[in-house]
Structure 1
Amino acid sequence: MRFASLGSGSKGNATLIEAGDTLVLVDCGFTLKETRARLSARGLGLEQLSAILVTHEHGDHIRGVGPVARQAGCEVYSSFGTACAVEDKPASLRNTRWQEVRPGRVFHIGELEVLPVLVPHDAREPCQYRFGWQQRTLGVLTDLGSITPHVVEAYSECDALLLECNHDYGMLANGPYPASLKRRVGGMLGHLSNAQAAALLRQANTDRLQHLVLSHLSEQNNTATLALAEIQAALDTGHERIGVASQNQGFDWLQVI
């Protein structure tokens, strides 16, 4: 199993996961044209996609899902709440091969086992995902405002993890956002701070972790240096395989062995 990102941040998100003959895209926050270009940079075409999984209805995650799915002819998976939230919007999933996912209920896409995990975020029925293949586990966990025991349990013992480090408390507090947006981002249904992400890693079992990629960093309220320092301090023995997903480049393929 291997994974890569086409881009991560408030301007657009998309994560690739490949296992055997199965290739899925988690979210697609880029236009059809931009998605084509970013896939090409990873050596792929739209026709190779097996499915798109949607985490929630915010534009930076769902913007290109409908056009890309219709062009690729692949299935789209989301919660019922997510599909309803965009029913009458440009990001509608109508005329796609939509499949409902239910939080906590495992299903399969080709060779991948998929577990949707309900998370606290200001969306209709937001789900993040954990993937399994040949006794290896990959977690995708972004866009949540707080840590719950359920989340800690779901993302323990991952072999690879994409983890949100959206903001630094100090930068958010002293940054340019209006007070209402600061409350939303830093609230219980907003986004994980560096400190919250570090706390999650301290609570979860990370003994098997081969790759940790810090994701969804705010360009206004965080830096890679701050995020890495906080996360490295949380991993008692240190960890050499920590990466950062960028907005423009995402990150290149990483292999889970």
Structure 2
Amino acid sequence: MSMHFSVLASGSTGNAIFVSDGEQSLLVDAGLSGKQMEALFQQVDRDIKQLSGILVTHEHSDHIKGLGVLARKYQLPIYANEKTWKAMEGLIGEIHSDQRFIFNIGEAKTFGSMQVESFGVSHDAAEPMFFVFHQGNKKLTLITDTGYVSDRMKGIIKDSDAFVFESNHDVDMLRMGRYPWSVKRRILSDVGHVSNEDAALALADVIGNQTKRIYLAHLSQDNNMKEIARMSVAQVLQSKGYGVGEQFSLYDTDPKKPTDVVYL
């Protein structure tokens, strides 16, 4: 069966992505409560009990809120790098040793017919990382929670069939918004989050002939809107000569509602 996925939830209140090849299924992050996660799986007609494991990108609460509950209830393996495991101590409760697995930056692990490659990003966490999923010639990239997209990252993620890509904030909305300046400075920094415009500029360097779907992810509830993100990204990409809606399509993600399950 071909690789398929759903962005179960994405935003500043919680993040989770389901990826499967029909034989093995993985959850990337579990940033909502256990009950909310179970409801999201029901909405996409998938069974949490069938998961092969949970991959963790970093220890911030909007990525691990339901992690311990789900792992204990369904006896699921958790994969995270050593620094993230250390940072999660005291945040996710007791996890049995036979459920704890190390997945370090730069490694690749095989799950069924999928090879999952990890890569580092620039974010204010212990050792944040995201993932590229490969199956045959198909490629799915997940990249949010980074202050910028380096040439190294671009080389790893280039020409994916689908991108789940951070488009966190509109810079003007953030600057004029209610956040204290210290928080604004953190978001705008190299270890914060990528803006709509910066997301589009990075995408312009990595979109390839295979690219068909781009999901704008991790939108700030206070400093962005789906319409603004989509319009801003589309305008920049069109100015770079890309046929948005022709070569590929832009899709929204939502903090409470899953995207349709899509087969690559």
- Could you state the TM-score of these two structures normalised by the residue count of structure 2? 0.93
Query: Is 1:118–1:128's contact at 8 Å kept on the other side of the alignment?
Result: yes
Q: What's the CA shift for 1:93?
A: 6.2
The amino acid of 1:255's aligned partner reads Y
CA RMSD, Structure 1 to Structure 2 (Å): 1.3
Give 1:77 deviation, angstroms.
0.7
Letter of the 2:260 counterpart: D
1:255 equivalenced with 2:226 (yes/no):
no
Residue of structure 2 equivalent to 1:187? 189
1:110 aligned partner: 112
In structure 2, how many angstroms separate the alpha carbons of the residues matched to 1:234 and 1:17? 29
Once the two structures are superposed, the pairs formed by residues 56-95 of structure 1 within 5 Å of their partners are 56-87=58-89, 89-92=90-93, 94-95=95-96
| Corresponding residue to 1:239 among 217, 220, 244 | 244
Letter in 2 for 1:5: V
Number of aligned pairs? 255
Closer/same/farther in 2, CA of residues 178 and 239 from structure 1, 3 Å limit: same
**CA offset at residue 21 of structure 1?**
0.7
| Distance (Å, rounded) in 2 between the aligned partners of 1:242 and 1:255 | 16
SS of alignment partner, residue 74 of structure 1: coil
> Contact 2:108/2:116 (CA < 8 Å) preserved in 1?
yes
* 8 A Cα contact 2:40 2:258, kept in partner: no
Q: 1:110 Cα deviation (Å)?
A: 2.3
Asked whether 1:208 is paired with 2:210, we answer yes
The letter for the 2-side match of 1:251 is T
Structure 1 outlier segments of 4+, above 6 Å: none
Q: 1:246 to 1:53 in 2, by over 3 A?
A: same
CA distance in 1, matches of 2:233, 2:135: 27
TM-superposition CA deviations, 1:191-211 (whole Å, max 9, x none): 010011011012224221111
Which of 215, 219, 222 is matched with 1:220 structurally? Answer: 222
CA separation in 1, counterparts of 2:27 and 2:229?
Answer: 25
Residues 7-26 of structure 1 aligned to structure 2 (within 5 Å): 7-26=9-28
Q: 1:65, 1:93 within 8 Å by CA — same for their partners in 2? A: no
Residue 261 of structure 2 aligns to a residue whose secondary structure is: strand
Tell me the percent identity. Answer: 33
Which ranges of structure 2 fall in alignment gaps of 5 or more residues? none
Name the CA distance, whole Å, in 2 between partners of 1:56 and 1:120. 11
Q: Which one is further off, 229-238 or 16-25?
A: 229-238
Conserved? CA contact 2:59–2:87, under 8 Å: yes
Cα deviation, residue 92, structure 1: 4.4
